[in-house]
Chains A and B, each alone.
Chain A
Amino acid sequence: MAKVPVQFRLNGSDRAAFADPADNLLTVLRRGLNDFGPKYGCGQGTCGTCSVLVDGELRLACLTLAASCEGASIETVSGMADGPNLHPLQQAFMEHFAAQCGFCTPGMLTAAKALLARNPNPSRDEIIDGIAGNICRCTGYEPIIAAIESVARGAAAGQRR
């Protein structure tokens, strides 16, 4: 199959790759552009380890055709920190021991970021709902929920001040 060029912004930089028209975004990010942040866990939309943001919206990269992202702005966990400064969610995941093997963590952080972007002060149930598409097999979900909750409460407290 002839390869086609795809261009998009990846974590703020313009990037381009050649891809099969049938290639999914996950393959192109990982093997085309060497962004190994998003992970392959199932390739069928059931685990959430491949979660990325496409124009600010939470998407499963394994079920997204790369070609459909032409001109889009894509964010992955690799661009989450601001230089050497970790994102508050990253800091909170460390403090709450929310990453054991770390394989689900990129997807969890991305889902959490998307949640807080659209709902800065989510309830516990809304947090659970926000990560419902992400499977973690090691940590258990409590530390992850606690980490996200701490960021949400911190931000809310900051706003009130």
Chain B
Amino acid sequence: MMEFRKDLFSNERDDDLNVVGKGVQRQDAPGHVTGRSPFFDDHAFEGLLHLKVVRSPHPHARIRRIDISAAERAPGVKRILRGADVPVNRNTLLSLINFGKDDEPTLAVDKVRYIGEPIVAIIAESEAQALAARALVRLEYEPLPAVFDVEEALKPGAPVINDIYPGNYFEYHEKYDHQKLRFGDVERGFAMADHIVEDRYQMSPIEHAPTETNGSIAAPEQNDRFVVHSCAQGLFFSLGTAAKIVNLDSNRLHFIGGTVGGGFGGKVDSLTEPLSILGAMMTGRPVRYVLDREEEMLYGSPRGAERIYIKDGIARDGRILARQIRSYFDAGAYTRLSSYAAIKCTAHLPGPYTIPNVASDIYVAYTNRCPSTAMRGFGITAVDFALEVHMDKGAEACGLDPMEFRILNAYRDGDMKAHRRVAKNTALIECVQVAAEKARWPISDEARRQSSLTGGGGARAEIPATPIDENGRINRPETRGGRPTQTLPAGTMRIPLTKQPIMEGSTENRPKAPAVPQYEPYRPAAAAPPPPAPAYTPPPPSAPPPAPAPAAAPSASPAPASQHGAHRFSSVFGTRRR
């Protein structure tokens, strides 16, 4: 049973919650246990047709010829769709929020860019007939050199995978080939450090493997609309995407869903809805397009693989003075949501720690692999794994207990984060204290006395002088090297803009996106501050790992000004403590 630790931050919360911390029956449970929950495929339709797609056997190839004549004559076949039949055969998911360029066809036309890319869709009276006809489609390919490694893909002269992004990287703000974060001077930090800890972390793609595979059923409805039973996790996201691709006003699509047989992020891509709807438009009959398990495993988009390099500079007393991160997101052949993942990753750096010098470059690279997408904290999970493994290595390098090392470097309320926003509602110290207590892992009394509410701010709230560079500037002869071009004086909140920031892609006949929100002005500090003094000195670990000691509850937090409500944990949109 989950434990609700009301002793932590108790003075910041009214203890009047009706649901949190209590056992409440879910309203969909009766449907689940009686088998009546309406999943997308649990709908009967008279005259239901079945759609199957022909997929590329090549990771990268030019399509020379598509011959559907034999398939068209096969028994039960009602209609065959090719790229030319798709009204808007190029899309990117985040175009709905004016982010990124349309780069992915629903059905490939001239080239295929990953094994499993859909090329031809066959609609027949039965699944067996659709599968039989699929085997009759004749395709001729000219295989092209393929790239499967993110860093290989970014090398000059690598084969161009996705022609919309000829450098094999996603372009941020029409300016950089990566997401850039600069705070302080990492080189200076490394020079001052007693230990340098460097490593490389490589993740694998991960398949969500929901028990229900991706799929949808679309059928003509009265009033000239189409009803769509969908597995989509984001029903309105899918509706907007499908409406764009089949070129219908969205009010002509009636999406029904929300009962999802496991998604975990793998059901946000609208993999099947556009073709089901198009099939229903073309045949006038209900069309069902469901991935089989093999398609789901091989071609349903996975969590993208990430390669992460981390370099830490650590002082003898355990303070991390500088952290530099370079990471490559494997988008596969098309963008889908990887561009967003890199933004999330950057926003998460350098993890929940106060580090006076931080620099990161996060790339989204295209390869000839299955396009990757959302999955449970994507953009964060992998880099967090790497950061926390790296924290253990850092603790080892300077001979500290890993729990104490984390508490020593943890961010605290009032600290300046690398993104130039003041840390609020921090809780890492308390998390580590409770984790140590639960694991019966002994930590010093000093560490147990630490609190997220005290010791932050002051020198730790200063914005250091920050050298900036043009590394990775698109259309410059030098791309990924080069020295700093300018140093922003200490206290600089943001780089002065030469033009109003507009998200890329917005120039393509779409309404302009709203401007990026401006931050509150910050009073600049006089000079680059020295690295903050340690809030406490952790003891060196007694080696070997100490025997478990009786657990002690973390001491109650000192009471700040009176605060109420659950606001501490709802800081997403800048909610401030009252």
Interface string of A23-57 (1 = CB under 8 A from B): 00001001100101111111110110100000000
- Whether the pair B34, A90 counts as a contact (CB closer than 8 A) is yes
Verify B35–A47 contact, CB threshold 8 A: no
Q: Determine the distance from Cα of A34 to Cα of B35 in the docked complex, in whole angstroms.
A: 12
A45 to B210, CA, bound (A): 16
Contact A101 B212 (CB under 8 A): yes
A86 proximal to B (CB < 8 A): yes
A36 touches B35 (CB 8 A): yes
Question: B128–A102 contact, CB under 8 A?
Answer: no
Chain B residue total in the interface (Cβ 8 A)? 36
A111, chain B: closest CB distance, angstroms: 14
- B545 at interface, CB cutoff 8 A: no
A47 close to B25 (CB less than 8 A): no
Q: Which of B38-46, B454-462, B554-562 interfaces with chain A?
A: B38-46
A117 located at the interface, meaning its Cβ lies under 8 Å from any Cβ of chain B in the complex: no
Interface status of B209 (Cβ within 8 A of chain A)? yes
Contact across chains for B39 and A105 when beta carbons are under 8 A apart: no
B110-146 interface with A by 8 A CB criterion = 126-128
Query: Is B48 within 8 A of A99, CB to CB?
Result: no
B254 at the interface (CB under 8 A from A): no
**A101 in complex: contacting residue of B44, B262, B293, CB < 8 Å:** B262
B211 is contacted by which of A86, A94, A101 (Cβ under 8 Å)?
A101
Cβ-based interface call for B107 (8 A)? no
Of B25, B26, B39, which contacts A103 at CB under 8 A?
B39
| Given A39-B39, A105-B35, A99 and B262 contact (CB-CB distance below 8 Å) | no
Q: Is the CB of B34 within 8 A of A137?
A: no
Complex Cα spacing A101 to B37, Å: 9
Interface SS, A side: loop
Q: In chain B, residues 10-46, which have Cβ atoms closer than 8 Å to a Cβ of chain A?
A: 25-26, 28-37, 39, 41-44
State the CA gap A65–B32 with chains docked (Å).
Answer: 27
Render A68-93 as a binary contact track against B, CB cut-off 8 A, 1 for contact: 00000000111011000010001101
The answer to the question of B492 belonging to the interface, with a C-beta cut-off of 8 Å to chain A, is no
Across the interface, which residues of B come within 8 angstroms of A31, CB to CB? 44, 48
Asked whether any CB of chain B lies closer than 8 Å to the CB of A151, the reply is: no
A27 to B210, CA, bound (A): 20
Task: Give Cα A101 to B213, complex, Å.
Answer: 13
B292 touches A (CB below 8 Å): yes
Write out, one digit per residue, whether chain B residues 269-308 have a CB within 8 A of any chain A CB (1) or not (0).
0000000000000000000001011000000000000000
A106 contacts B by Cβ under 8 Å: yes
Q: How far is the CB of A140 from chain B (nearest CB, A)?
A: 12
CB-contacts of B232-287 with A (<8 A): 259-264
- Does A104 sit at the interface, judged by CB under 8 A? yes
Q: A39 — which chain B residues lie within 8 A by C-beta?
A: 39, 41, 211-212, 261
Considering the complex, which residues of chain A in the window 92-114 have a beta carbon less than 8 Å from any beta carbon of chain B? 93-94, 97, 99, 101-106, 109
Residues of chain B lying within 8 A (CB to CB) of residue A46: 293
In the complex with contacts A39-B261, A77-B35, A99-B29, A104-B211 CB distance below 8 A: yes
- Chain B residues, Cβ within 8 Å of A78: 34-36
Residues of chain B contacted by A47 (CB below 8 angstroms): 211, 293
A40 to B34, CA, bound (A): 16
- Minimum Cβ distance to chain B for residue A148 (Å): 13
* A93–B29 CA distance with the chains assembled, in angstroms: 8
Q: Chain B residue with minimal CB distance to A108?
A: B33
Contact A105 B209 (CB under 8 A): no
Task: State whether A42 touches B33 (Cβ < 8 A).
Answer: no
Q: State A138–B263 Cα separation when bound (angstroms).
A: 9
A97 to B48, CA, bound (A): 35
Q: Flag whether A135 is at the interface (Cβ < 8 A).
A: yes
A41 touching B211, Cβ below 8 Å: yes
Known: A78-B35, A105-B35, A135-B211. 4 other contacts (CB 8 A): A39-B41, A40-B290, A77-B34, A94-B25
Binding site for A on B (CB under 8 A): 25-26, 28-37, 39, 41-44, 48, 126-128, 208-213, 259-264, 290, 292-293
What are 19 residue pairs bridging A and B, where the CB atoms are less than 8 Å apart in the complex? A20-B126, A31-B48, A36-B42, A39-B39, A39-B212, A40-B41, A78-B34, A86-B30, A86-B33, A90-B33, A91-B33, A93-B29, A93-B32, A94-B33, A101-B261, A101-B263, A102-B31, A103-B211, A136-B211
